[in-house]
């Protein structure tokens, strides 16, 4: 007897199935290879005849809902970048002055900011799938919050530089 799918962990859609569906689709519709742009209409195997790339069929949402997540990521990464640039400037100045030890005592808020924004960027990347399922209102609110947090952190750092350092 041949092995059936009963009791095995074989996914409902196996590679063979998607390959058949892919070929059935390409028998009726034209599509181009995502890598080389070659026309795949009438394809007989699941490989691009031009570049040899293995192809498979996928299901994707019509609206990927990535705008809010991307906006938030750019916001938080900007905060990280701002702290990194300022810290880099102070590191350079400290090396020139020969007071490198001060980098770990006097400019601790910059290190703190760097860790906070770095941590938030990491958390935000983990939230991508979750955020895409949120309502539009929540997505916008969180994306704006990321930029708000970066704006607040940047203003705080500028204030610190003007009042405490200079």
**Where along the sequence are the contacts to Zn ion (CB under 5 A)?**
33, 35-36, 38, 48, 50-51, 53
Q: Which is nearer to Zn ion, 38 or 92 (CB)?
A: 38
Mark 31-67 as b/e (b = at least 16 C-beta within 10 Å): eebeeeeeebeebeebebeeeeeebebeeeeeeeeee
- 12 φψ region: left (φ > 0), alpha (ψ -120 to 50), beta (else): alpha
Report, in Å, the least distance between residue 37 CB and Zn ion: 7
Report, in Å, the least distance between residue 55 CB and Zn ion: 8
For residue 91, give the nearest of 110, 113, 117, 119 by alpha carbon. Answer: 110
Report, in Å, the least distance between residue 49 CB and Zn ion: 8
Which residue's entry shows tokens 């750019």? 74
Rounded CA separation 84/78 (Å):
10
Report, in Å, the least distance between residue 44 CB and Zn ion: 15
Report, in Å, the least distance between residue 26 CB and Zn ion: 13
Q: Which is nearer to Zn ion, 33 or 43 (CB)?
A: 33
Q: Which is nearer to Zn ion, 52 or 152 (CB)?
A: 52
Rounded CA separation 65/81 (Å):
25
Q: Which is nearer to Zn ion, 43 or 73 (CB)?
A: 43
Which residue's entry shows tokens 């705008």? 67
Q: Which is nearer to Zn ion, 48 or 157 (CB)?
A: 48
């Amino acid at each position: 007897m041949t092995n059936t799918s009963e009791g095995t962990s074989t996914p409902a859609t196996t590679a063979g199935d998607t390959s058949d569906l892919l070929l059935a689709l390409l028998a009726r519709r034209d599509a181009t290879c995502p890598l080389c742009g070659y026309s795949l209409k009438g394809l007989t195997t699941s490989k691009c005849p031009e570049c040899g790339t293995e192809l498979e069929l996928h299901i994707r949402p019509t609206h990927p809902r990535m705008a809010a997540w991307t906006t938030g990521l750019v916001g938080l990464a900007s905060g990280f970048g701002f702290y990194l640039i300022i810290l880099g400037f102070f590191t350079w100045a400290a090396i020139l002055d020969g007071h490198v030890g001060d980098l770990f005592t006097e400019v601790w808020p910059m290190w703190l900011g760097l860790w906070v924004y770095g941590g938030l960027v990491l958390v935000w990347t983990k939230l991508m799938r979750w955020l895409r399922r949120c309502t539009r209102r929540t997505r916008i609110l969180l994306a704006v919050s990321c930029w708000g947090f970066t704006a607040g952190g940047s203003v705080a750092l500028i204030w610190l530089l003007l009042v405490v350092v200079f």
